[in-house]
Copies of this chain bind each other. A is one copy, B any other.
Amino acid sequence: MSQPINVAILGATGAVGTELLELLDSRNFPLAGLKLLASPRSAGSILTFKGEKLKVETVEASSFKGVDLVLASAGGSTSKAWANTITQAGAVMIDNSSAFRMNPDVPLVVPEINPEATAHHRGIIANPNCTTILMGLAIYPLHQVQSIKRVVVATYQSASGAGARAMEEVKIQSQAILKGENPQAEVLPYPLAFNLFPHNSPLTDRGYCEEEMKMVNETRKIFNAPTLGITATCVRVPVLRAHSEAVNLEFDAPFPVEKARAILAQAPGIKLVEDWQKNYFPMPIDASGKDEVLVGRIRQDISHHCGLELWLCGDQIRKGAALNAIQIAELLMEKNWLKLTGSPLTV
């Protein structure tokens, strides 16, 4: 058992923050102390942890004194604003935002894929984007055996990816539509109830949205495969929680489907869900609240002799965010990588 440490959650009241709390409890994370932090707007709330009521404090410079590890899930601007303060205070920050993911001095880690990258951190470790984590878990075990040449992925992303308020909005909109009303969108740009639309993250100059470029760039960084071809179409769908992805893989040589199935049946963090008799495969309602990414419908691509098709669903808040962050924290403790030997990174 590792020596207990002092942990702070920055952004404790959000969808991911709530899940972090639940996981620290259910995984018996060795805590010496737990501090809940948030912006002034959300501070003051009371959250329960292991039966004890904890008050969410306003984040300020003194908040990180004595803290060993900060789990940050309050968005990119908050992470940027507090990163140097956190690392100067001697704490390590595991950041859920996209702020530092592509910084070459910041490890971007999925513990099942590139745990060794964590060793070289300089006070900040980035947690990848949800869609990237889920796809990475499913395809990296194949990539290890035979390099993937190209990925064509289409996503089916739940409202939870836009936060707890978006989940609530979908419910309220659905209720209104069922009553025959014509609700307006406030949190998301367009109505999502009984509808869907291309992911609403800002578009880049090549027409890909930022969410899609995260899948491209983050996967390359995590796999250490800078030339891996990836194209993505990211779409929001009226599902509350758990993302799905239709993944087409091209290899340089044929990859027998039975070999792929056998590899994925053994792969960490994955559960094969394939009942071909019942036409039963991964579904968001089955992936919700689960640690594992559900993978199924592994098929030989009939349009390409070196292609494979697969289908996955994973809990976007859990393995797509909070669980991956907690697993990084557990890895740091297990390997004794928490304490910095050099000076912390300044960002």
Contacts and interface: CB of A to CB of B under 8 A. Distances in A.
A170 B229 CA distance: 38
Contact of A156 (B194, B196, B257, B276): B196
Nearest to A230: B303
Sort chain A's interface into a size bin: 35 or more
Name the residue among A175, A244, A302 with the largest chain B CB count within 10 angstroms: A302
A300 B23 CA distance: 41
Given A174-B174, A175-B178, A276-B207, A244 B196 contact: yes
B198 A311 contact: yes
Interface in A186-221: 189-191, 194-198, 200, 202-203, 206-209, 216
Contact of A203 (B197, B203, B276): B276
B235 A156 contact: yes
Interface stretch (A85-93, A101-109, A147-155, A329-337): A147-155
Given A174-B178, A207-B297, A154 B196 contact: no
Contact of A237 (B190, B196, B230, B307): B196
Given A279-B189, A285-B191, A302 B196 contact: no
Contact of A279 (B196, B209, B233, B283): B209
B195 A239 contact: yes
Contacts of A340: none
A198 B297 contact: yes
A172 to B, nearest CB: 9
Given A190-B283, A198-B311, A299-B207, A238 B235 contact: no
Given A178-B174, A196-B239, A229 B303 contact: yes
Contacts of A216: 302-303
Contacts of A174: 174, 178, 194
A190 B178 CA distance: 20
19 contacts: A154-B154, A156-B156, A156-B235, A174-B174, A174-B194, A190-B280, A190-B283, A194-B285, A196-B239, A196-B283, A198-B279, A207-B276, A208-B299, A216-B303, A231-B301, A231-B307, A233-B246, A235-B246, A248-B248
